[in-house]
Amino acid sequence: MNEDLTKRPLVEIITELSFLDQEIGMKDVKHKHEMNNLIQRYEILRQEVIRRFPFLENDEAFKKKEKKL
């Protein structure tokens, strides 16, 4: 599970995230171990998407402008 996600296209990552989200939603508590594995994989993929697209509020264009007098 230590694959290099940086080399995978974003569309593949988001597609897998969607399938994992659906699968996690369908599991019951009885499958706790399997569900933990799915959640762990989901989180790894989610972090890769966030790494590629950091939050916009951190961007210079979205920072508060100071008024000059």
SS3 25: helix
pLDDT of residue 53: 82
Q: By C-alpha distance, which of 8, 9, 41 is closest to 23?
A: 41
Q: By C-alpha distance, which of 61, 24, 68 is closest to 46?
A: 24
SS3 67: coil
CA distance 22 to 2: 23
Residues 18-60 have pLDDT tens digits of: 888 888 777 665 677 777 888 888 899 989 888 888 766 566 6
Domain edges within the chain: 7-54
Q: How many residues does the chain have?
A: 69
Which of the two residues, 1 and 10, has the higher pLDDT score? Answer: 10
The band of 12, judged by pLDDT with boundaries at 50, 70 and 90, is very high
